[in-house]
Structure formats: C-alpha cells, structure tokens
Amino acid sequence: MRPSAKASAAKSTTKPRRRASRATAPKSYHHGDLRRVLIEAALQLAGEGGAEAVSVREAARRAGVSPGAPFRHFPSRDALIQAVAEEAQRRFRAEIEAALATAPGDDPLGRFRCLGLAYLRWAMRNPTHFEIISSRRLFDHDRAVAVSGDNAELIALTEQTLAEAFAAGQLRSADLKQVQIAGRALVYGFARMNIDGHFPRWGVAGPEAERTAEAVLDLFIEGIAKS
C-alpha cells in the first residue's frame, strides 16, 4: 500500500507543476488584430519622434508582443513604414472628405477653399505623419498602391472642383492646371514650412500658424476668383 501511496502522491504533485509551467510560459499574441495594433504603435512612435523613431522592435514592445511576432506581418522596417503611410493617408483623406461634407454644394470655389483648409489643418496638426506620406525618401510611393491611389483621387477631386468653379464663372483664369499646381504648391509649401520650423523667424508662433494658414489660403482664393 505504501508504494502505491507514494506513486499516488508523485502523480498528484506532477500535474500542478505542469499546469504552473503552462501558466508562466510566454503567452502567444492575444490582441484581436496584431497588424492594426502594430501600425497604431508605429504611428504613435512617428508622432513622438518622427519617422526615424519607428522600428519593428519598438512597435512590438508597445504592442506587448515578442520582438519576433511582427515579422509575419512586417518583414522589414520599410514594410512597417509603408503601412504607416497608408494609414496616415487614409486618415488624411477622411479629414478632407469630412470637411467637404459640410461645404455648400452650390459653391465649387468654396469647396476648393474647404479642401485646401482641411489639407492645411491636418498637415499642421499631424506634421510627422504628413512628412511620412509626402516624402519619397521614406518608402516606395509607386509600390504603395493605397497611398498613390488615394493621392490620385484627391488630385482628381481637386481638378473636378476647379472645373466646376470655372463652369460657374468663379475663376479668372481658364488654365486650371496652373491654378491647381499653384494651390498645391501653396498648401504643401506652408505645411513644409511648419515641419521645418520656419515660422518663428517670420513672427508666426504656436496657434497663430493655423490662423495664418487660413489667411494665406484666403489671399490665394481672392487672387484666382473672378471679381
């Protein structure tokens, strides 16, 4: 009886040890969508320190997973940066579409202004994300279908809006291509000035930058509008 009792005791102590081992072992990924969580972590890193602060390892740490877990989704840092650019572009476009939804339907030049103002506001409130989607040195734009596709559609939307403004007799010039390029240069250049820290030397600081952006845009609209 004693040997069997010892065996029984051995068995009873073996099972809890196995359960404890499973409980303390590293857990597998438990989020609902690892890819999305990693992109969100990378967006936060970019927002805090620019594109240079983004790494697969740090995104994994913030997501609470092992350093190797992200590589089935993002085999390289370049792949993660491209995904960040695609998400930033999606948010950028959503901001513009939300602004246009409130614009008057019978005033195409007013919609053009609304589009430009939404562009500027998003770029100035999300400078590092804007830099990622606008800089060709950070990822391959031609291979990033979502980014290039969204950008092409926004350009087409601008063209259509200007064509409607011209048809409504709101524009001075019939050269809509030049008007479009000038408008793009204005908003892009203003956003880059913000990123590169030029405004203080022009006496524009803090919250005043957005007000200045709106005033500059209105000056441009006044210049292209038919009086």
Question: CA 100, CA 112: separation in Å to the nearest integer?
Answer: 9
34 and 142 inside one domain: no
CA–CA gap between residue 179 and residue 195 (Å, rounded): 24
Segment 179-192 shows an average pLDDT of 96
Of 108-117, 140-149, 181-190, 207-216, which gets the smallest average pLDDT?
140-149
Residue 165 has a pLDDT of 97
| 18 domain residue, yes or no | no
Asked which of 55-64, 120-129, 185-194 is least confident by mean pLDDT, the reply is 55-64
Is residue 39 in a domain?
yes
With a cut of 90, say whether residue 13 has pLDDT above it: no
CA quadruple 163, 164, 168, 170: dihedral, nearest 10: -60
**pLDDT the model gives residue 85:** 92
113 plus 185 within the same structural domain = yes
The tokens of 68 are what?
């190797």
Which residue is listed with tokens 């579409």?
A: 97
* 127-156 pLDDT per residue, tens: 999 999 988 787 777 778 888 888 899 999
Residue range of the domain that includes 43: 26-75
Structural domain contains residue 12? no
Tell me what the mean pLDDT of segment 27-42 comes to: 76
Structural domain count of the chain: 2
Domain presence at residue 185: yes
